[in-house]
Each structure stands twice: as C-alpha cells, then as structure tokens.
Amino acid sequence: MEVKVLDTKGKATSSKVKLSDSIFAIEPNDHAIYLDVKQHLANRRQGTHKSKERADITGSTRKIKKQKGTGTARAGSIKSPIFRGGGRAFGPRPRNYHFKLNTKLKRVARRSALSYKAQNDGLIIMDDFNFETPKTKEFRTILSNLKLENEKVLLVLGNNNDNVYLSAKNLQNTKVVPAELLSTYDVLNAKKVVIAKGAIEAIEKILN
C-alpha cells in the first residue's frame, strides 16, 4: 500500500511511502482492541477511592436502645449505616485495577487500530520536521496547513523530539508520541493519525 508524503505546508511531495500490509491492511480484531483499550483505561486508574465504614467512624459503641419491645428494628451503635453520620455500608475501598495482557495480543490490537485508520482515510504521512525552539504558533500553522486545526490529532514521531513535543503541549486536541509509545487507545481516540516518515520504520519494527 503506497501513500503520498505531505510536507509541512500540507502539499504532496514527490516521494511516496510503502506501508506494510501486515500492519496497515489486516482484518481488524475487535476483541483484541477491546481488551487493549480496557487495560489502558484500567491501568490509568489510581484506585485511591475510600469511604468510611462503621469501623472508621468516631463514636460510641453503646447500644442505643433495647433489643426488643420498641416496635422498631433492632439497632446497635450510633455508627450503624442506617443512622445519619454512621459509616457507609459496602463502600469503595482502595484497590489496584491493573491487569496484564500478552505482548502478541497488544501488537494485534495496535495493528488492527492502524488498519481501521488506513481503511477510513484517517492516516496522514508527513515529512520529518523539527523546530529550533518550542513554537506553538508554528505547530498550529502546520495543523492549519493540513486542515486539522479543529480535529483531534495524534502525531507519531520516529524518536523523542522535545521541541515538537513542547510545541504541541498546550494544544488540547493534539498529542505527540514517539513510535515506541504508540498505543491502541491513542490511535482510536484521534480523528487523524499523522505519522512522521521516520516513524514508519520504527512502527513496523515494533509491530512485526
């Protein structure tokens, strides 16, 4: 599959890039995508939620009324969940939501996500570029040239580039990642995936 390479002005250059069919043109595996996205979202959770149960409430443990003969339900201490100010029954406790997936499955999920983008014209291949210093205005100009200023964009670079990363840091709908940190969630969460020419080889090396 051959794709034209665009420059920073949004115009097609004379060069083309051949994308591997084993990554960008496979039959997508929806279940693999589901598991990978589920793991990504679960691993982002802090799991620090906590409510006070009756053992955590400060108060007397005296039995507040006799067991029988009151005509109402029996009750123990004032810390019971049925009373105002009492502990919560079965409240959330701190827990770890992390779980693991096989590396092969995660590769299948990323290949599937990239194939979906390729099938739906969601991929753009760009020439490699850099800034001498972080310039958000220049980065925004590039997005405007690509007609992506109002779209959610994922830019994939061949390696870490601090100037490009910092230039896009303040843009709400734009995320910049190196090829080795590319995730299924980021690919699917973006309207357009812009891949730098130098990142294609890295992506194919990781996912093949």
- Single pTM value for the model: 0.83
Q: Going by CATH, does the domain composed of 2-45+98-207 fall within 3.40.1370.10?
A: yes
Give me 182's structure tokens. 């590319």
Q: Produce one character per residue of 54-77: b if its CB has 16 or more CB atoms within 10 Å, e if not.
A: beebeeeeeeeeeeeeeeeeeeeb
Tokens coding 199: 């990142």
Question: Which residues, in sequence order, are CB contacts of 147 under 8 Å at separation 6+?
Answer: 10
How far apart are the C-alpha atoms of 36 and 187, rounded to whole Å? 12
| Structure-block tokens of residue 88 | 């919560």
pLDDT digit string (tens) for the chain, length 208 residues: 788 888 888 888 888 888 999 999 999 999 999 999 999 999 999 999 999 999 999 999 999 999 999 999 999 899 999 999 999 999 999 999 999 999 999 999 999 999 999 999 999 999 988 888 999 999 999 999 999 988 999 999 988 888 999 999 999 999 999 999 999 999 999 999 999 998 999 999 999 8
Please state the domain extents for the chain. Answer: 2-45+98-207, 50-96
User: Two tokens at 106?
Assistant: 């995660």
Are the CB atoms for 35 and 105 separated by under 8 Å?
yes
